[in-house]
Structure 1
Amino acid sequence: MPWYALYTKSRQEKKVADRLLQIGIEAYCPLIIQDRQWSDRKKRVEVPLLPSYVFVNIESQERELVFQVSGVVRFLYWLGQPAIIKDYEIEMIQKRLKDKITSYEIVGIQPGSLYEITSGPFIGQKGIVDKVDKNQITLVLEQLGVKIILHK
């Protein structure tokens, strides 16, 4: 069965993945742990690696079943067809998320240049540098159709 990418309502990724599992659809929402700052405290929270995206492993004729779950907006499309995510790409994300500490070095990178990620869940992926700040870089991963922010 192929994997497909679902676009969800904002901040609904974990709920959508849980509800899909409840109705018997294999779903995967890659999660990472981040430190979040509130006015009175810091806290470690689990957040989606790819905001607003959940992956589902279903047969093409069963695709309509996902719309039974509230929070699902649409499938991600590529060339007029629902985008198929290869098994090895899902496995790569799962494998890389086992790494707890990820660091990136941002040196001499200019917007518009090609950058290859050297560690973490997206290791080996290449993207176009969109923006460079003091401690982070915004990278466009065209294959996945997303922008990611890498922190130093």
Structure 2
Amino acid sequence: MNWYVVYTKPKWEKKVAERLNEAGIIAYCPLITKVHQWSDRKKKVEVPLFNSYIFVQVEEKERNVVFSIPGAIRYLFWLGKPAIVKEKEIQAIQNWLDIPDTFEIMVDKWQKGDKIVLESGPFVAQSAVVQEVKHNHYILVLESLGCVLKVEKKIKI
């Protein structure tokens, strides 16, 4: 079965994913924990990693079942067809969210334009192109995932 991207009403991502799972449809809403501050307090809350998007795994012929759930608006399309997300890309997101907040990446002598394969961290085995080299960070483009990654340099004394 393929993974598809479903566009939801704003702030309905968790509700739609929960209701789809209750209906027997595999749905995944990646969540991150953020600290929100109100005028009188701070609180940790789980918010979706992607605003207004969730991932569903359904057979192509059963794609319309998703719309029986309130809050599901439409599928994300790419080149006139529903966008399909690969299983390894879903796994990469899950692995990235499962690791601790801090980890150490050792890098040295990368230059703009270098093509590399990441050896550690949440995007292990992903190929990337070095887009920018600064004193304290690198900007990497992960073409297979369609995202940009900023890697902070750690200076050891």
Q: State TM-score, norm by structure 2.
A: 0.69
Give the Cα separation in 1 of the matches to 2:101 and 2:82: 33
Aligned to 1:6: 6
1:94–1:54 distance in 2 versus 1, CA, 3 Å: same
- What are the Cα deviations for residues 37-66 of structure 1, in whole angstroms up to 9, with x where unaligned? 111111111010111111000000000000
Give the Cα separation in 2 of the matches to 1:18 and 1:36: 23
1:50–1:59 distance in 2 versus 1, CA, 3 Å: same
List runs of 5+ in structure 1 lacking aligned partners. 104-115, 130-139
What secondary structure is seen at the aligned counterpart in 1 of 2:98? coil
Mapped pair 1:56 → 2:56: yes
Give the Cα separation in 2 of the matches to 1:149 and 1:44: 25
Give the Cα separation in 2 of the matches to 1:10 and 1:22: 21
Aligned to 1:82: 82
Give the Cα separation in 1 of the matches to 2:64 and 2:86: 20
Within 5 Å, give how 1:118-133 maps onto structure 2. Answer: 124=126
Asked which structure has the greater CA Rg, the reply is 2
1:96–1:68 distance in 2 versus 1, CA, 3 Å: same
Aligned to 2:34: 34
Counterpart amino acid of residue 62 in structure 1: E
- Displacement of 1:100 in angstroms is 3.0
Give the Cα separation in 2 of the matches to 1:98 and 1:31: 10
Q: How many residues align?
A: 141
Amino-acid identity (%): 51
Give the Cα separation in 2 of the matches to 1:7 and 1:101: 28
Counterpart amino acid of residue 77 in structure 1: F
Give the Cα separation in 1 of the matches to 2:99 and 2:63: 32
CA contact (8 A) 1:102 1:119 kept: no
Aligned to 2:67: 67
Aligned to 2:93: 93
Give the Cα separation in 2 of the matches to 1:125 and 1:37: 37
- What are the Cα deviations for residues 78-137 of structure 1, in whole angstroms up to 9, with x where unaligned? 00000000000001111111113158xxxxxxxxxxxx99855x675869x9xxxxxxxx
Aligned to 2:15: 15
1:33–1:59 distance in 2 versus 1, CA, 3 Å: same
Give the Cα separation in 2 of the matches to 1:92 and 1:74: 24
1:100–1:86 distance in 2 versus 1, CA, 3 Å: same
What secondary structure is seen at the aligned counterpart in 1 of 2:39? coil
Aligned to 1:112: none
